[in-house]
Amino acid sequence: MVTRSPLVASSAQEAETDLRERFQSLGYLYFPGYLETGDCENLLGQIVDCLAPHVQFAPGSREPVLRGEPFFETDPVWDAVYPRIQSLYDFHHFFHRAPLQALMRALVGDEVFVYPMKMGRVATPRKIGYETPPHQDAHSHQGGPTMAGIWVALHDVREGMGRLQLLPGSHKRGVRPVFEAEGVGGVQCEIYPNETEWHVSDVAQGDVILFHACCVHRAEPNTSEQSVRISVDTRFCDYGAPVFVNNLEPHHGWRIDGLDWGAIYRDWRDESLQFYWRGYPNFTDQLMHAPSLATAK
């Protein structure tokens, strides 16, 4: 029987040794209320503008809602609007700002490398079965031993809107076999019979979650009538750790025509983040984890 328990909360005021110990125990850290709401409002507004006319704010609120038919990652509507999001300077700069850098350093040390690939998530309602299935970033990003993910809620997300679920302690069992599945990414990792407790909570604007490369996580289906869940995430590691070269490309740049760094940078006034990763000492094109699909058990 599958059960759900609340996310275990952490505080940035705790000692780094305590945070790292909890991270190694659970496979994740959850920081409620970490970012000021204003830190998220600007980016949220820009992303919703990019999603028009398909997504707008509900009258009198800052909750994104669907206008028209639902869509999902990789369908024609998503492919049309996603390059607009990827072209936002503030979307890429968001994870290079001091507050989020401080959380990353608490895990991996004073020198942090933020992956160039930044990801925007748009979960529309009434597309049951297209949500992100259980997976590990160690497989999908070919992550090295110190790679971790960082996820930020740009607005309040309650039950029924496609919340993020994490499987506590799942990182301790290494990189798992995968098999084909519906939903974002197209693969699901194996879940073992005794893994029945998932951690999930309603989250508020500015809440931050960091998770281990091998921590299994998934999205709940968005079962609401019109609410859209919008979040952003990326990956990071200690500076000098191996980074697989595919992470140098824009998210979905490999499949959306014209979505490349030249197009993304075209209207940027600030050039300081353009190709910031050039000169990084440890890119690799050698697979760190076997890419083959396994048969589901």
Taking only the tens place, the pLDDT of each residue in 207-239 is: 999 999 999 999 999 999 999 999 999 999 999
Angstrom distance (rounded) from CA 287 to CA 297: 25
Q: How many DSSP H helices and E strands does the chain contain?
A: 7, 16
Token pair of 118, please? 């930044």
Token pair of 73, please? 């990652």
| CA 116-117-122 angle, 5° bins | 145
**pLDDT confidence band for 186 (50 / 70 / 90):** confident
pLDDT at residue 74 above 50?
A: yes
List % helix, strand, coil for the chain (3-state, nearest 5). 25, 25, 55
Q: What pLDDT was estimated at residue 45? A: 98
Residue given tokens 């409002």 in the structure block: 41
Q: What pLDDT was estimated at residue 295? A: 35
Arithmetic mean of pLDDT over the chain:
95
**pLDDT confidence band for 185 (50 / 70 / 90):** confident
pLDDT at residue 168 above 70?
A: yes
pLDDT tens for each residue of 100-129:
999 999 999 999 999 999 999 999 999 998
- Residue 178 to residues 7, 208, 252, 253, 294, Cα–Cα distance (Å): 25, 27, 21, 23, 5
**pLDDT confidence band for 291 (50 / 70 / 90):** low
Average pLDDT over residues 272-280: 97
Q: What pLDDT was estimated at residue 297? A: 27
Give me the CATH code for the 19-253 domain, please: 2.60.120.620
Global pTM reads 0.96
Average pLDDT over residues 18-44: 97
**pLDDT confidence band for 290 (50 / 70 / 90):** low
